[in-house]
Amino acid sequence: MNTVIQKKVYIVHGCQASPNDHWFPWLSRKVQAAGHSSRRVMLPESHQPDFEVWQRSLALQIPHLDENTIIVAHSLGCVAALHYLNQQFQTAAQTIQAGIFISGFAAPLAAIPELKDFIVQAKLDSARLQTSMPLAFCVLSSNDPIVPPPFTLQLSNLLNAQCFEVKNAGHFMRTDGYAEFHEMWELIKPLLAN
């Protein structure tokens, strides 16, 4: 009889969002229904994100990373989560199972110039992240009004991630029709199975 290893999925929201927005509650329920642990991370003051406050919040809510950890992040949550992971991966032996980054980026955005100070504080060591997160996926939308697709491709290269394009998905928000996110579920389902 083979026992199913319980995975820990952390869902990290972005700017001007909360854990109850978009597809986050839906994905959380799907993961739990499959018998795994899911936590939607709460990042305070998301309308005026503070880099240090977000890092402390991630540390409090994702205190333990291991090979059964899966990080799912959206938009500015990708920058914050990747910096946090970069800081945690001090030893080459430490790894997580996978990271999935939706509308991710690592460079300042023309659409939201006020986030520049937040973004430039993130330190992303490509080699360290690739070693400690051997499986990474980036998902971009062909018509994202906030994060241009080349920005997500750039992040994908930094992480050596598999990159997927979804046509006309906007910024993967509820207002774009993303209260559910079936493409995401298809990505995460095999990770929960093994």
Has 171 been annotated as catalytic?
Answer: yes
What is the reported pTM?
0.96
Has 144 been annotated as catalytic?
Answer: yes
Q: Which domains does the chain carry? A: 8-193 (3.40.50.1820)
In this structure, the dihedral spanned by the alpha carbons of residues 71, 75, 79 and 85, taken in order and rounded to 10 degrees, is 0
Active-site residue identified among 46, 75, 141, 156: 75
- Closest listed residue to residue 8, CA positions, set 39, 47, 33: 39
Whether residue 1 is predicted with pLDDT greater than 90 in this model: the reply is: no
Whether residue 189 is predicted with pLDDT greater than 60 in this model: the reply is: yes
Active-site residue identified among 22, 46, 144, 156: 144
Question: For 77-110, how does the pLDDT look when each residue is reduced to its tens digit (9 = 90+)?
Answer: 999 999 999 999 876 568 999 999 999 999 999 9
Burial of 175 (0-12, 13-18, 19+ CB in 10 A): exposed
